[in-house]
Chain A
Amino acid sequence: ETGVTQTPRHLVMGMTNKKSLKCEQHLGHNAMYWYKQSAKKPLELMFVYSLEERVENNSVPSRFSPECPNSSHLFLHLHTLQPEDSALYLCASSRWGQALNTEAFFGQGTRLTVV
């Protein structure tokens, strides 16, 4: 099993739908992240969770709602999205803490298309 697993790999949803993206890490990390990769734009950090608490929200619209029930799982709940939200959503995890840091390990992403 890979270290960081994202499901589904592909998702097509209408603007009025509600869906969720799931991320699971098997690396024993204590921090998880959502990144957005849009065409022709740099990867953007959306949310950061450390020890299951949200420590950063980079001005992300409220139609994106993250949830971190435990250190191994991270969700991104989606509702009333716009076509411009179509992108590759990448989950990552790392160890968080002075002298314990690791680099970020990424999942394979969920390709989201909003129609």
Chain B
Amino acid sequence: AQSVTQLDSQVPVFEEAPVELRCNYSSSVSVYLFWYVQYPNQGLQLLLKYLSGSTLVKGINGFEAEFNKSQTSFHLRKPSVHISDTAEYFCAVSSGGTSYGKLTFGQGTILTVHP
């Protein structure tokens, strides 16, 4: 069984400040990790993914995340946020195999960027 915990339900931050959204997971098998973003009244858009290889992955819109196997974490970071980054962010894990579409999601973190 897998589970994902997003440690912060809401993160307020000022524009141009750095931000980190925290995600921890548990799984008994190899995992594949994803961050998705959801803007109001929209579906989910993939920000970045870790499948294998380098533990530091870069995504769209200047976001990056680091896979830490020993700490079972996959925290999302951005060095300088914009107002347009205001959205809800979801960390998700897949056991992979034949499908990366079977996902277990965290509860979500609402990022609010203030001017």
Binding site for B on A (CB under 8 A): 4, 6, 31, 33, 41-43, 45, 48, 50, 56, 90, 92-94, 96-98, 101-109, 111
Contacts and interface: CB of A to CB of B under 8 A. Distances in A.
B105 A109 contact: no
Q: Is the interface of A mostly helix, strand, loop or mixed?
A: strand
Interface residues of B, number: 25
B64 to A, nearest CB: 17
B42 interface: yes
Residue of B36, B102, B103 contacting most chain A CB atoms (<10 Å): B102
A96 B44 contact: no
B103 A104 contact: yes
A41 B105 CA distance: 10
B45 interface: yes
A106 B107 contact: no
B87 to A, nearest CB: 14
A88 B70 CA distance: 35
Interface stretch (B18-26, B75-83, B93-101): B93-101
